[in-house]
Amino acid sequence: MNIREHLATKGLKRMIEGNFGLPVILIAPDGTTISTDDEGNTLKGQVLYDHDSLDPETGDLMSTKEIRVTLRKTALSTIPAAGETWKVSIPDDPSGQDTMTTYLMNPDESPVDGQSAGFITLKPKNVDQS
Amino acid sequence: MGINDEMLFEQVRDKIEALLLANQGTLFRTIVGQRERVDSAEVKDGLRSLQVFYESGEYSDSKSGKQTKEHDCEYRLEYKLSRAARVDLSVLDNDSATPAQLQAALLAADEGSTLADKAMDEFRRIISQILLDPKNRALGFTVTPGTRGQLNYTVSRPKLERFRKNQPLQKGGLIVLTASETFTTTVTETFDGAGVVAADASPINYGTGIANADGDPTADESLFDVDTLNSP
């Protein structure tokens, strides 16, 4: 196993699904539910509830309340692609892991594909009852 | 009319705001004046906001000595709203839903940007219907009959111009859409300088800006007199 393969499997698994990992449930556009990883364990990802960004008008650094879900691609049976609508369920907050909240990854926003390291970052958005 | 009285362009601004406030109901929220920021969650669903402010104006040329000038006023209307995506959560969050039902629910999901775009069209319709309604032609000013039977309005040629939508943006998990439009009208302003505040005749003591021994930088003491300081 070369270092890239090692990073894509064991390294990413430790970083994304280790102590920082939170349970994630996905529903693919075809209705398939993905709640376990490639080894049959609970699917986990690194969930950030806010992140830093630059204010386009002022250039100031600010904390933005936008969710980012990073998953190991080898853990997924189907990988989300741009233009697809997926359901993404994550815990309400990092401590209360029992209550999951539903978000949508929809064609408005493509996932960030970390091709060289084998991860994918979803940018799910709020959803209301239709 | 003078320095201490509101000119017509200010009165028109107040009348537009009053008209919008009277008609907003639960359809939108009128924000008076320029505000730095509006949070995306503040403008969700029925809480869409409309900021109104006097943006620019120009006085027409007139013969010297004339006390009135035509004032072409431009008021900026800034529309803002946000929308979340919509989906049938009763299916999507139902653990016993079949893959086919889940697939159908995801297919029927409405994107936030599409919903925001439609909501903006509706928002513009509402504002146009209020501001261009013939009943509101006078903007709340008194209409006086002219000598030839015509009606004299304080504001002339009111128009809504240059509506433009901006690019939808994702903010805080919501899609935010903004747009702007200009309300233009012409009023006849009067200039007579009446009510000018009398100049203060008392001398102004700027001091030296250097604190004296008591720490008072405005003290006018001979210690800080240039001649004294420069004397050997």
* pLDDT attached to residue B207: 56
For chain A, say whether B110 makes contact (Cβ under 8 Å).
yes
Tokens 């505000």 correspond to B35
Q: How far is A2 from chain B (nearest CA, A)?
A: 39
- E-assigned strand segments in chain A: 22-23, 25-27, 33-34, 44-48, 51-54, 61-64, 68-72, 86-91, 100-105, 112-114, 119-122, 127-129
| Chain A residue closest in CA terms to B92 | A87
Measured between CA atoms, how close is B143 to chain A, in angstroms? 44
Residue A130: which of B86, B98, B99 has the nearest Cβ?
Answer: B86
Structure tokens given for B33: 């004046």
Pick the residue from chain B with its C-alpha nearest to A109: B170
Q: Which of A52-61, A92-101, B162-171 has the highest mean pLDDT?
A: B162-171
ipTM for the complex shown: 0.81
> What band does A44 get if pLDDT is binned at 50, 70 and 90?
very high
Residue of A nearest to B171 (CA): A66
DSSP-derived letter for residue B197 is P
Find chain B residues with C-beta within 8 A of A104's C-beta.
85, 87, 109
pLDDT above 70 (res A69): yes
Q: What is the per-residue pLDDT for A19?
A: 80
Inter-chain CB proximity B85 and A66 less than 8 Å = no
Burial class of B178 by CB neighbour count within 10 A (0 to 12, 13 to 18, 19+): buried
What's residue B119's pLDDT? Answer: 92
DSSP B82: E
Contact B107/A at CB under 8 A: yes
Interface test with chain A among B86, B90, B92, by most A beta carbons within 10 Å: B92
Q: Are A105 and A111 in contact (CB under 8 A)?
A: yes
pLDDT at A119: 85
Of residues A110 and B107, more confidence is placed in B107
State residue B219's pLDDT score: 54
pLDDT tens for each residue of B107-147 = 998 888 899 999 999 999 999 999 999 898 888 888 888 88
Give 3-state DSSP helix, strand, coil % of chain B, rounded to 5: 30, 30, 40
